[in-house]
A and B are shown apart, each in its own frame.
Chain A
Amino acid sequence: LPTEKLSDYDVDGGRDLDIFDINEEAGLDLAEGDIVLDGRQTRNS
């Protein structure tokens, strides 16, 4: 017999995170949220 009932596992941690939210939480500060720029692409902000 089952020893105990295990809870479901939410792979998203119960949150609807878009790419940009995931990167922001990870502390990334990339161009447009998810683009790695090199020297030639870097725009003068």
Chain B
Amino acid sequence: IIGDEYRWPKTIPYYMEDDLEINAKGVILKAFEQYRLKTCIDFKPWSGESNYISIFKGGGCFSSVGNRHVGKQRLSIGRNCDRIATIEHEFLHALGFWHEMSRSDRDDYVRIMWDRISEGKENNFKTYDDTTSSSLGVPYDYGSMMHYSKNAFRNGTEPTIITKIPDFSDVIGQRMEFSDSDLLKLHRLYNCTQGSTFLDSCDFERENICGMIQGEGDQAEWVRVAEAAGGPDTDYSNMGKCTGSGYFMHFSTGTANNGDTALLESRLLYPKRGFQCLQFFYYNSAGPSDKLKIYVREYDKANANGTLRFIKTIDGSPQQLWQLHHVSLDVKTKFRVVFEGSKEGTGPSTGGLSLDDINLSETTCPEFIWRVKNFSHVMDNTTVNTPIFSPPFTSKEGYRFQMGLYPSGKEGYPGELSAYAHLVASAGDSGQKWPCPWKQMTMMLMDQHPHILKRMSNQRSVTTDPNMKATDSQQFFWDDPRKVGSEVTDADGSRYFRGPGAGTAVYLTHLRAKSRDFIKGGDAIFLLTMEDVSHLTVTQPVPSTAEPPITSGPTGSTGSTGSTATSENCLNVQCLNEGICMVDAGKAVCRCAVGDDWWYYGDTCQNRGSVMDKTNLALATSLSVLAVMLLVTVVSVICVKKKYKKRRGDSSFIMANVHA
């Protein structure tokens, strides 16, 4: 939307209303993290700023476009809206973005099938001219998360939107993550230079190896190569698909002497948050005793040359495979990440340690990795309604869970991946509280693009509500799996109980799963986490200097009554001067626009007030009071004077026989 007045500050105050679902609150925080990683937009809890976004559970998912300067600007994340892409979509509206479909040049790229649109819905396919809306010099984006899907607002079974390039027919309407163009537009609109929590990314395709350096004091070197004797044969970024590219860093333990080390250090990095996640792909074709260790070199005034601090040794025996690793860091000063390869014993005369696709960001690391090998084959050769399960993982709080994946979908959903999260318990488990309280399990199919900012991973989250009852039973759904689950025997012979699953039959279509880098080298990687979200059951504090937000009444409560009521009750109410009509205690009322030193008021926001008016009013009132007081004083003086004058006149009268 064109107009600086619609821009928010780069850090947006938000208030999460109490009526939001706990899972939605958790996903909203995840969406904020994506904004922080990929853009310069940040979010902070409302602390009394004049304008803020109030996120509530309305009857659907909706937002205004841009900063409306109404004080409390509402954004609804209702039932079924608690998906990260939906939340990012609504916040893009709030930040000032219309749909991609409403671009002025839309008709150059898609054909609207007007006769297939539901009656009365045609106005959803209007375009804005370039005096209202700007494309910011970015080409039309079929992959935008702000694009309608091909069946939007249809009246039958035929698509309403036909892309002029047929290959994009199933691309439009993706609700996975920001596209590159979404991010480019956001960066241009808000003058971003880079993501707030992004630090570095390197796929070693360029000869400068992203400013990384060979460390001092070592005996061997890391070398940029396209293949290595003993493996790997290709890099991980391109998997050898592109001639003349596809490089990675390799430390040859085959040619190194026993005891040799090789240090590869990142460029200087400047942390802001104090916690980081280092992610990289690692190929170990070295001897069984050779090691890869991760250090950080930290700099401060006392240590201008930096101090090396050991973080961890990357475990694992040699494998003919690029493996994904995550390392959590906690650096607070200027630093470098250091990869130390060491040859520590006899081994093969070829092979070594290899690194590729390094990403470093100030985010938390995913906790668990589930790699499904030969995934295309698994998708094509698993019958419908047949699940495969990840190994059970144990969370920090001691709960165990696993992901159940239906590679060919649940019954009735062919061509889909269906995904469910299950709690797990074994016979001897103890110490957990049941039903499991407020743990959010996230299942992410990783887009394995080399650059973290260009990934469009697909994720869904479910949260264990300890009060939730099973649909077909009086049992608590998230109760002890030994009570509400069934016993299973794993491939390794271990036995445990698996609770019922919560998730979705429509996690991702096969078509999308086969797009981008969801499958690389034949494999899919699922990143799983279980986080405690019990802190989100508590009301967000209201700033002491500000008035409390209006409790969501009929408009803000659950179900569909809210916004429907708003639209119906407000049909006959016109709010002037950018006022917005909403329903409060069953009545349509206007909420008027306010600024820092001005405001509108009145039933229809017809009057304008300002700080200047208020001063003038106070001055006029004071002067009037003074004048009235003066008048009263003068009248009183005159009256008293008159009275005494009369008395003096009366004193000439002589009373006789007073003492008689």
Contact = CB atoms under 8 A, between A and B. Distances in A.
B173 interface: yes
A20 B173 CA distance: 11
A10 B564 contact: no
Given A18-B175, A38-B578, A6 B475 contact: yes
Given A11-B502, A27-B560, A35 B98 contact: yes
A2 B482 contact: yes
Contacts of A43: 123, 126
B501 A8 contact: yes
B578 A32 contact: no
B181 interface: no
Interface string B385-413: 00000000000000000000000000011
Interface stretch (B60-68, B340-348, B644-652): B60-68
A10 B503 contact: yes
Nearest to A36: B64
Interface residues of A, number: 40
B533 to A, nearest CB: 15
A19 B86 contact: yes
A7 B93 CA distance: 38
A11 B564 contact: no
B552 interface: no
Contacts of B501: 8-9
Interface stretch (B242-250, B297-305, B483-491, B542-550): B483-491
B60 A2 contact: no
Contacts, number: 165
A39 B578 contact: yes
Interface string B71-87: 00010001111000010
Contacts of B500: 5-9
Contact of A8 (B98, B420, B574): B420
Given A5-B486, A20-B152, A38-B578, A14 B505 contact: yes
A34 B483 contact: no
Contacts of A7: 470-472, 500
A27 B405 CA distance: 33
A3 to B, nearest CB: 7
A17 B505 contact: no
B475 A4 contact: yes
Question: Chain A CB within 10 Å — which of B124, B153, B575 has the most?
Answer: B124
Contacts of A23: 59-62
Contacts of B563: 26, 28, 30
A35 B502 contact: no
Interface in B428-483: 460, 462, 470-473, 475, 477, 482-483
Nearest to B501: A8
Contact of A33 (B79, B124, B503): B124
A16 to B, nearest CB: 4
A26 B477 contact: no
A26 B504 contact: no
Contacts of A36: 62-64, 74, 580
A15 B563 CA distance: 23
A28 B568 CA distance: 10
Contact of B152 (A5, A25, A33): A33
B353 to A, nearest CB: 42
Interface in B103-154: 123-124, 126, 148-149, 152-153
B617 interface: no
Nearest to B152: A20
B567 interface: yes
A34 B505 contact: no
A43 B504 CA distance: 38
Contact of A34 (B61, B471, B564): B61
A43 B367 CA distance: 48
Nearest to B128: A43
B498 to A, nearest CB: 10
Given A2-B486, A5-B486, A39-B579, A14 B62 contact: no
A33 B59 CA distance: 13
Interface string B49-69: 000000000011111110010
A22 B63 contact: no
Nearest to B460: A11
A33 B173 CA distance: 14
Contacts of B65: 35, 37, 41
A1 to B, nearest CB: 8
Given A6-B475, A35-B98, A45 B506 contact: no
A2 B578 contact: no
A11 B421 CA distance: 11
A35 to B, nearest CB: 6
Interface string B167-200: 0000001010000000000000000000000000
Nearest to B605: A39
A35 B62 contact: yes
A23 B93 CA distance: 15
A15 to B, nearest CB: 7
Question: Chain B CB within 10 Å — which of A11, A16, A45 has the most?
Answer: A11
B99 interface: yes
11 contacts: A5-B484, A11-B503, A25-B560, A26-B59, A26-B60, A26-B564, A28-B564, A33-B124, A33-B152, A35-B98, A41-B65
Given A7-B470, A9-B477, A36-B580, 11 more contacts: A4-B475, A6-B472, A11-B80, A11-B502, A14-B506, A22-B61, A28-B564, A35-B62, A35-B65, A43-B126, A45-B126
